[in-house]
Structures are given as C-alpha cells and as structure tokens.
C-alpha cells in the first residue's frame, strides 16, 4: 500500500526579502505546527538557523512543536534522511516540509533536487513554490539581480513583503504580474497561513492572464500555456517531453501541467519538470477544477515559444500553420 506523498514547498525570495519573518509567522499557526523546515544555506554566512531553537542532531524543535533542520550540507541527503527518520518513527510524522532557500540562490537547483528520483522514492512531492518579493527594494532588485527575477518567475504564489514601507505598491504588482502571469500575488499581511501551505498548490490558471506591460529587463523570461482539448496517447506525451527536454531543457525554468491521457481521461496526469529533469508523472484521482483540457504551463528563459508550441502541436496532432508535423520532427533523418 502506498503512503501519501509528503508535500514539499520551496520558500524563496532575495536576501532580506522577509522569508524568515514569514516562516516564523507560519510556524506559529496551529494548523502548520506539523511542518518540517529545512533551511538551505551554503557556506558559513547564513544565520537563519540560529533563529530557531536547537535540540541537537541538526534537528530543532520549535516551541510550537515544529521540526526544523538547519542544513549546511547536501539538501538531497538531508531530505532523504528526514523522510527515513519520519518512516522509522524517530521523528514525528510531519505533514509537509518547507525548504527555505538562500536569498542569493537561483531556484532551479533546489527544484531539481526535489524532483530527483531518490526524493520521489523517499515520498516527497513538489507541492508549490512561494516567493517573497520585497516591495521596499521593489523593481530595482529585479533589475539588478537575475536570481531575484528567476525566483519570482518560477513561483506559484508571490507574497509581497514590506508593503507597509511603500506608498503605492501597484506598479510593483503590475511588474510582477507581467513577469509571472500564472502566479497568485498577495500581500504577506493579507494571506492566511493555513491557505499558504495547503497542498496541492498547483492548478494551472486558465485562461492565461494578459500581460499588462512587459519590461525590457524581463524580456528573456516568458511564461506561456500549452493547451489542447484532445486526449493524448501516453507515448506521445513521453515523446513530447523527451524532445522538449533534449532540445529546450536549458531554457526551461519550470514546467507544470495537467494532461488528459487517452487511457484514463477522467484522471489527469500531473507533470512537473525543471530544465532537463522531469518528475515521474502522477495520476490524480480527478480534474481539480472542472476544466478537463490539457494545460501545461512553461516558464522559460531565452526559449523560442513558437517552436515549443509547434512541437506540442505536432505531438497532439493539432494543426498549425507553417509548422512541421510530428513525423517530420521525430522521423526526419536530417532533424537535429
């Protein structure tokens, strides 16, 4: 009998954005008390782990009852170890894990780690990416630090901190909505802790929100949705994902989708991926939102959207003008 997967949330945001402040607030909430926290610090500079009360062995027990782990070493080993100790009863049966990334980190290595086969086998499931956006430093931060832009671009949920220090956050919100049209955007103060870490966090928004404007600085980052009402044969999905990963993996900051497969159209398959790493598809029991179309959200950097759309259409059999069909892409001896 399989046990339910452990939802893993990534909490990201630039240095000083307010991640630890938010985390402390979340962990005080009774419904989130059974949360394991991994603070992903590199080097000796990080101090975040000192802000929680240690109880030896790298694991700390917060006064609220939360489990916390300060991590200097390998994220993968730590997460695997936490799961093993949860399974053998030496740790309480935590209901979710939050991984706070270092402020300077590009988010993709952490996401890739979570999609690694060892962690999938250990029972983890990437449940959502929450990014804290600092309204005080606002757009300047996005312009100056590519990591900050990437953190916000891959988020499912953006939380704006320090809105209390800024007279008008509307332009900042507009910029964030343009950068990541799929994300839900809230002010940190307005969001309820319990709803923040409620799994599953992911439902691809449809239709795609229009981009109110597009900043030249963010021009290489794009977010778009591939959709089809058709069912797909499983081998075609595999073929599409293989092609995508092989030829466009480098520019794929994040992929997440619900796919209607021909074998069981009433039970969509959840797919997730980061760059060249794809998570094993997960069969859901039902469509989460009444919309039974395949929807795959891609967040990309420097990737040709049109080519990806053509590739997808070739595998679904949807006809597109001026685009090669699937045979031409997969059976062409001259193809790349």
Ligand X SMILES: Nc1nc2c(ncn2[C@@H]2O[C@H](COP(=O)(O)OP(=O)(O)OP(=O)(O)O)[C@@H](O)[C@H]2O)c(=O)[nH]1
Which C-beta is closer to ligand X: that of 18 or that of 257? 18
Which C-beta is closer to ligand X: that of 19 or that of 295? 19
Give the Cβ contact number of residue 11 at 10 Å.
Answer: 27
Name, in order, each residue with C-beta under 8 angstroms of 234's C-beta and a sequence gap of 6 or more.
Answer: 261, 262, 263
Closest to 188 (Cα-Cα) out of 213, 216, 160, 211: 160
Shortest Å distance, C-beta 23 to ligand X? 7
What are 225-228's contacts with CB under 8 Å, separation 24+? 225/182, 225/295, 225/296, 225/297, 225/298, 226/257, 226/294, 226/295, 226/296, 226/298, 226/308, 226/309, 226/312, 227/293, 227/294, 227/295, 227/296, 228/293, 228/294, 228/312, 228/316, 228/318
Which C-beta is closer to ligand X: that of 48 or that of 156? 48
> Contact residues for ligand X (CB under 6 A)?
13, 15-21, 48, 103, 161-162, 164-165, 188
Which C-beta is closer to ligand X: that of 21 or that of 112? 21
Shortest Å distance, C-beta 326 to ligand X? 46
Which C-beta is closer to ligand X: that of 13 or that of 257? 13
Write the DSSP assignment of 286-328 as a string of letters. S-SSS--SEEEEEEEES--HHHHHHHHHHHHT---TT---HHH
Shortest Å distance, C-beta 164 to ligand X? 5
Closest to 120 (Cα-Cα) out of 327, 282, 11, 285: 282
Shortest Å distance, C-beta 208 to ligand X? 29
Write the DSSP assignment of 108-137 as a string of letters. HHHHHHHTSHHHHHTTEEEEEEEEEEETTT
Kindly give the pairing relationship between strand 67-71 and strand 59-61. Answer: antiparallel
Which C-beta is closer to ligand X: that of 42 or that of 287? 42
Shortest Å distance, C-beta 113 to ligand X? 19
What 8-state DSSP symbol labels residue 50? G
Which C-beta is closer to ligand X: that of 191 or that of 259? 191
Shortest Å distance, C-beta 145 to ligand X? 12
Shortest Å distance, C-beta 155 to ligand X? 14
């Amino acid at each position: 009998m399989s046990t339910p997967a452990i939802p893993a949330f990534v909490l990201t945001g630039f240095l000083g954005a307010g991640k630890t402040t938010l985390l402390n607030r979340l962990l005080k909430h009774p419904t989130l008390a059974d949360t394991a926290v991994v603070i992903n610090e590199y080097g000796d500079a990080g101090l975040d782990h000192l802000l929680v009360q240690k109880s030896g062995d790298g694991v700390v027990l917060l006064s609220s009852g939360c489990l916390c782990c300060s991590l200097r070493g390998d994220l993968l080993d730590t997460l695997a170890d936490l799961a093993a100790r949860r399974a053998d009863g030496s740790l309480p049966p935590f209901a979710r894990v939050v991984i706070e990334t270092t402020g300077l980190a590009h988010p993709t290595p952490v996401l890739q780690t979570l999609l690694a086969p060892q962690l999938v086998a250990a029972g983890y499931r990437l449940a959502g990416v929450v990014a804290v956006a600092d309204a005080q430093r606002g757009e300047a931060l996005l312009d100056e630090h590519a990591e900050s832009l990437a953190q916000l671009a891959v988020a499912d949920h953006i939380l704006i901190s320090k809105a209390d220090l800024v007279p008008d956050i509307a332009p900042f919100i507009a910029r964030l909505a343009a950068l990541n049209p799929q994300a839900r955007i809230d002010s940190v103060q307005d969001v309820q802790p319990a709803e923040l870490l409620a799994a599953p966090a992911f439902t691809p928004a449809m239709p795609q929100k229009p981009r109110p404007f597009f900043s030249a600085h963010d021009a290489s980052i794009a977010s778009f949705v591939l959709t089809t009402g058709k069912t797909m044969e499983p081998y075609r999905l595999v073929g599409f994902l293989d092609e995508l990963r092989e030829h466009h993996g480098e520019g794929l900051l994040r992929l997440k989708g619900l796919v209607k497969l021909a074998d069981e159209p009433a039970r969509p398959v959840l797919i997730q991926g980061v760059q060249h790493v794809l998570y094993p598809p997960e069969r859901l029991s039902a469509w989460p939102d009444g919309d039974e179309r395949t929807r795959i959200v891609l967040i990309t950097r420097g990737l040709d959207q049109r080519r990806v759309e053509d590739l997808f259409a070739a595998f679904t059999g949807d006809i597109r003008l001026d685009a090669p069909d699937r045979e031409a892409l997969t059976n062409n001896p001259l193809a790349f």
